[in-house]
Amino acid sequence: YNYVIFPALLITSIALFYFFFGSVFKTNTVDNSQRNLRKSIALDISNEAQLESIASNKTIGDFVQANVFIEYDNLKHLSLPSRYNIEEDFIDPPPISEIEKNMTLYLSTLHESLSAIAGPTVTGVQVWETFLHVTKSMPMVWDEQNKYRFPKPRNDNTIFVSLGTYRDPYCPMTIKSLYANAKFPENVFVGMFQQNCFGPKCRTGVLVGGKVEDAGPDPDCYVEFCKSEEGINSNACNNGHIRLFNVNESESLGPYMARYLGAKFYRGEQYYLQIDSHSEFVHAWDEKLIKMVEDAPAEKPVISTYPPDSTQNWKDTIGFRMCDSEFAAAQIEWQIIRLGSSIAFDREIPAVAKYAPFVAAGFFFSPASFLHEVPFDPFLPWIFMGEEISMSARLWTSGYDIFSPTVNVLNHYYVRRHYPKFWESVNRFFKKPIH
């Protein structure tokens, strides 16, 4: 069986990989017309009368059969159709207090529902169905009701920083570095989704020998930053630039859901920066990232990579690029595409950002319009591997092009052994190794 399935999977994977990312390796200059054609079917709907005729006289199936099966050789002769934009009237966004109330209700309701089934006999299917029911009936409903209240990006060089943190003692270091090294700290707004054990009795991560011991409350990233020199100088805690939401560790739904929920604190900033809570920044990182986006040869660029390790010579060095991937070998990650490490492919700092195939969850920078066009998927709880390949595919097929940074503007503390991990809380909560 394996002799048949494995070669078939390997051949299929190679073919899909070449089709999906081949242009990245062939050339760093992509023809605009072909890039647009890959993202939309160029159908001839050039006038309103024809569009109405399609709507009234053709079913979707008929229309697709009649128009979409076009010979490959003719694709280069196609042109993009006229765009038909539906005018949307956006109203004032909900106040932060309303968002906090809704998120608190959602997390407490979900926690109560999951607590009712937690125990040695609970199955993964039961957990998933419970999560699905609560999420569909609460945040998904609110998302639909508030879709015209979600702010449109302004044109003012402001940056919304999505900072999800899980029991991380490096978080105060990260936000201090973020503000201390920004050229325009007054333009930096942080959505801090802090998942901590607030005490009185907490547990450590897995220590040497597999031991887990009692511990005190986790460091409060917000409090530590606000009383620091960097926090005082930035005035960020007093002028509403830090939008904090605290979550008990037992209610944590993993890093991707932290990004989904944390994005609800977005308030119309022009750019979006997503980072992990164990990073440091170079001076003027904000100015440098904005320039990379503005200079990138694409309408909708995303700058992303796995940042260099904190132990390396990383400041303002040649930007790292991610190009490698493989199917994960671990049983728990079976058939998930695991992205490889990043390195500097160039011999000198490039003038403009170069194309790359993947987005890294721990660092990407983009126009904030993607929050409207490629919103976070609310159905990916408790995942660690898998969010990056999903976001890469969804962004690319929605018209966004991915680039590596020209220079490295932040680092990453990769080795954090013995610190708490979210899946340890998940297993404690369900009283079995379910993650």
Question: For 48-72, how does the pLDDT look when each residue is reduced to its tens digit (9 = 90+)?
Answer: 444 444 444 444 444 444 444 445 5
pLDDT for position 88: 65
Which SS3 state, helix, strand or coil, does residue 217 take?
coil
Average pLDDT over residues 362-373: 95
> What would the pLDDT profile of 268-308 be if each residue is shown by its tens digit?
999 999 999 999 999 999 999 999 999 999 999 999 999 99
pLDDT for position 117: 92
Average pLDDT over residues 230-249: 95
Query: Which residues make beta-bridge pairs with 426?
Result: none
How would you classify the pairing of strands 214-215 and 202-203?
antiparallel
Among the listed residues 194, 237, 240, the one whose alpha carbon sits nearest the alpha carbon of residue 219: 194
Distance CA 323, CA 264 (A): 31
Q: How confident is the model at residue 260 (pLDDT cuts 50, 70, 90)?
A: very high
Average pLDDT over residues 414-430: 79
Low-confidence winner among 67-81, 150-164, 211-225, 361-375 (lowest mean pLDDT):
67-81
Instruction: Residue 4: count other Cβ atoms within 10 Å of its Cβ.
Output: 8
pLDDT for position 33: 47
pLDDT for position 28: 45
Q: What DSSP character marks residue 191?
A: E
Query: Measuring CA to CA, how many Å separate 257 from each of 12, 92, 262?
Result: 31, 25, 8
> What would the pLDDT profile of 35-50 be if each residue is shown by its tens digit?
444 444 333 434 444 4
Among the listed residues 300, 364, 372, the one whose alpha carbon sits nearest the alpha carbon of residue 153: 372
> What would the pLDDT profile of 134-192 be if each residue is shown by its tens digit?
999 999 999 999 888 889 999 999 999 999 999 999 999 999 999 999 999 999 999 99
Distance CA 347, CA 396 (A): 27
pLDDT for position 77: 63
Q: What DSSP character marks residue 263?
A: G
pLDDT for position 213: 84
Q: Which residue has the higher pLDDT, 163 or 384?
A: 163
How would you classify the pairing of strands 242-248 and 188-196?
parallel
Average pLDDT over residues 67-87: 56
Low-confidence winner among 331-340, 361-370, 376-385, 397-406 (lowest mean pLDDT):
331-340
What share of the chain has pLDDT > 70, as a percent? 78
> What would the pLDDT profile of 306-326 be if each residue is shown by its tens digit?
999 999 999 999 999 999 888
Distance CA 273, CA 263 (A): 11
pLDDT for position 339: 85
pLDDT for position 210: 84
What share of the chain has pLDDT > 90, as a percent? 60
Q: Which residue has the higher pLDDT, 32 or 246?
A: 246
Kindly tell me if the per-residue pLDDT of 235 is higher than 90: yes
Distance CA 99, CA 264 (A): 7
Q: How many contiguous H segments (helices) and E segments (strands) does the chain have?
A: 15, 14
